[in-house]
Chain A
Amino acid sequence: MKVNMIQALNQAMDLELQSNPDLVVYGEDVGKDGGVFRVTDGLQAKHGSHRVFDTPLAEAGIIGLGIGMAAYGLHPVAEVQFSGFMYPGLNQLISHASRIRNRSRGRFSCPLVVRTPCSGGVKAPEHHSESSEAYYIHTPGLKVVMPSTPTDAKGLLTSSMREKDPVIFLEPLRLYRAFKEEVPEEQYATPLGEAFIRQPGEDITLITWGTMTLACKEALETISQNEKWSIELIDLRTLSPIDWDIIHKSVRKTGRCVIAQEAPQTLGLASEVMARILENDLLSLEAPVRRVTGFDTIMPLLKNEEHFIPHADRIYAAIQDVMRF
């Protein structure tokens, strides 16, 4: 059956609730309301309110409770309504969730999944559109995942729910209902830490993740009409740990690279990717690596967010620059 990302995520949780009696799904509005985006729709009715439940409005509470439940042997899957509201919970994530294993010398662990919608492009109010993945990637001990298709969403969430360490699962809002695809009905797990080549190519490597995969595909379509370049599009899918092998292999083959991210420019993931390419692949490069990013500004309110989000035309222009260097 063809499903969108919301339905795929719902299936992943439904199946995992069936097969893992220790799994619990909880957060603000996830129970009766099925989540404000309906990602948990129907799960409470099916699995009971002891396994799928609403919490008071408190992100530190949600994440902190999850740490305790996880330490005791449950597998908590928490929803934080928007990544813009993760910040009250950051203390719990950074000071505790990410460090339990290390602090207890491996005695205790924190297999907690925090799901939260991220990124912009849907004309939401303030704090509903930020791309904040860098905060999490910068925290050792956390795994960070961001799917860009329904198929990946289901498989990656299933893996996340079987992880032995805390996972931040970022769901790009714009992709929630952007398109449907055929998704296997059964349970399947897509390994974390493996990037995916969405389109193979020879002349230039285009690296991206999350919402930007759409803009990149749009840019590739325009380019294929106007130019003869063969472009390799890599979707990172897991942002921590990163699949460096796929990146180095591709850049060494093509000798050129553009990285597209929606987050602000400075110290975003694109900066790290660029640094690693310089460290490892410098002698393969035929042109400087370029980034296309959001600006070092606050994400504007809805009338102007389209200026902030890098669109296909900016990605195309960067590819042109690099190809014609």
Chain B
Amino acid sequence: MPLTQIAQFGVNRLSILDENGKADEKLLPPLTPPQLIALYIHMLQLRIFDDKALKLQRQGRIGTYASSLGQEACTVGSAFALKNQDWTFPAFREHGVFFTRGVEMVKTLQYWGGDERGSDPGEGQNCFPVSIPVGSQPLHAVGCALGMKYKKRDAVAVGYMGDGGTSEGEFHEAMNAAGVFNAPVILICQNNQYAISVARKNQTAAQTLAQKAIAYGIEGLQVDGNDVLACYLATSIAREKAISGKGPTFLEFETYRIGDHTTADDSTRYRTKEEIAAWRAKDPIARFETFLLAKGILSPSLIDQIKQEAVAKVEKAVQAYETMPPQKIEDLFDHMYAITPKDLAEQKRAYVGFRQTHGKENQPDTIGPGFP
């Protein structure tokens, strides 16, 4: 028997805007000028938020924070393609998904500031809270998608992860189940080239992450993750496909984390300045801005106005965060079960009583240096 090739596979990459902001006109998604401006506003707001959050962390006003500087196109572009009825299951670097879907910014500050109330996305928001365990939540997205299929809803579920997340066992279980059940799900990997200090090439020997989909019998696509139009278009197409019953998609958004892993990390231990500079030149916001200016959709004065409004919005969120009354002690116990068991209610009563008699009703809530 001769050796015969029985299957052949390829991996595609989608990119619309090049590094100079020039578009491949044939690929442009059908977005109106106000929609294009909205995309720009979301990205800029996210960047200004990130910058502010880093400052707040350094001043001890929030805890450890994970910046998404340089990755704005991924979260904003993908979330912009979703509808209210869709569900998102983020990792911890997806602030842009929350903001773009309309979750209040103050929530993100509260969460990273160490206040559980920030995990409640608000009425009617189909946004699961942050998953700190890496690579666990793609399964939840697939499960949610099965629910949508079962109930015959025109909706999709989207699970996010990082390049590191694709090494965890549960990622593979999610991909496999998505394929087997033909789930209306989109799994999005923000490949920002590092999992803390471990570079992408030490995470997997695969040439691309997108190709991981092949083994599970689902479609995989690599997308220029610094091109917001490509991120948007890829997610929109995947959404249409999922809703029409044609199954799941795995999207690899290839991007770069410009900042440290978190405020507890020192990336100079494992990355070079040259590498960062090369990626800075691919900045997703600058690229999109050039494109919009050339199209006459943005003007320098409009940019100024958008910037000012973004700063004001972020400052307002900070103020709301800092003037929020502190959580009550009771709050620690109240959300464990639908009905608090008697024994737990007793633990709560005893502790509240103890604090009242021993003073220090609310212990100091200073925020230390934080950890990875």
Query: B198 and A300: CB pair below 8 A?
Result: no
Stretch in B34-42, B47-55, B161-169, B296-304 with 4+ CB within 8 Å of A: B161-169
Point out the residues of chain B lying under 8 angstroms from A297, CB to CB: 332-333, 336, 344, 347
Q: How far is the CA of A285 from the CA of B199 in the complex (A)?
A: 59
The distance from the CB of A123 to the nearest CB of chain B, in whole angstroms, is 4
Whether the pair A32, B197 counts as a contact (CB closer than 8 A) is: yes
Contacting chain A: which of B110-118, B141-149, B176-184, B283-291? B110-118
Distance (whole angstroms) from the CB of A29 to the closest CB of chain B: 5
Contact A56 B351 (CB under 8 A): no
In the complex formed, the residue of B with least CB distance to A124 is B371
Provide the residues of chain B in CB contact with A295, threshold 8 Å: 332-333, 344, 347-348, 351
- Whether A122 touches B169, Cβ cut-off 8 Å, given contacts A127-B133, A303-B114, A304-B114, is no
- Cα–Cα, bound, A102→B372 (Å): 37
If A306-B364, A317-B354 touch, whether A58 touches B168 (CB-CB below 8 Å) is yes
Contact A306 B333 (CB under 8 A): no
Which residue of B63, B167, B331 contacts A58 across the interface (Cβ within 8 Å)? Answer: B167
Selecting from A6-14, A83-91, A238-246, the interface stretch reads A83-91
Q: How far is the CA of A33 from the CA of B196 in the complex (A)?
A: 9
A57–B332 contact, CB under 8 A?
no
Please tell me if the beta carbons of B198 and A29 are within 8 angstroms of each other in the complex: yes
Q: Is B225 an interface residue (CB 8 A)?
A: no
Residue from the list B113, B169, B371 in contact with A303, Cβ < 8 A: B113
In the assembled complex, which residues on chain B have CB atoms less than 8 Å from the CB atom of A307?
A: 329, 332, 351, 355, 363
CB contact under 8 A between A123 and B333, given known A61-B169, A297-B344, A304-B114: no
A182 close to chain B: CB less than 8 A:
no
Main secondary structure of the interface of B (DSSP, over half): loop
Q: Are A29 and B332 within 8 A (Cβ)?
A: no
Docked Cα-Cα span, A314 to B369, in Å, equals 26
The secondary-structure label for the interface of chain A is loop
Determine if A123 and B63 form an interchain contact, defined as CB atoms under 8 angstroms apart.
yes
Would B371 and A304 count as touching, CB distance under 8 A? no
Given A36-B264, A127-B133, CB of A122 within 8 Å of CB of B368: yes
CB-defined contacts of A303 to chain B, threshold 8 Å? 113-115, 326-327, 365, 367
Instruction: Give bound CA distance, A127 to B351, whole Å.
Output: 23
Tell me, rounded to whole Å, the shortest Cβ–Cβ distance linking B171 to chain A: 9
B196 in contact with A125 (CB, 8 Å): no
Residues 119 to 136 of chain B near chain A (Cβ within 8 Å): 130, 132-136
Per the bound structure, the CA–CA distance linking A54 and B326 in Å amounts to 41
Q: Is the CB of A29 within 8 A of B327?
A: no
Say whether B26 faces chain A, with CB atoms less than 8 Å apart: no
Which residues of B line the A interface, CB within 8 A?
A: 63-64, 92, 111-116, 130, 132-136, 164-165, 167-170, 195-198, 202-204, 264-265, 269-270, 326-327, 329, 331-333, 336, 343-344, 347-348, 351, 354-355, 358, 360, 363-372
Pull 26 A–B residue pairs with CB atoms less than 8 Å apart, ordered by A.
A31-B197, A32-B270, A33-B269, A56-B164, A56-B204, A57-B165, A57-B195, A57-B198, A81-B372, A85-B134, A122-B371, A123-B64, A123-B369, A124-B370, A127-B132, A127-B133, A128-B372, A295-B344, A297-B332, A302-B63, A302-B367, A303-B115, A304-B365, A305-B114, A313-B358, A317-B354
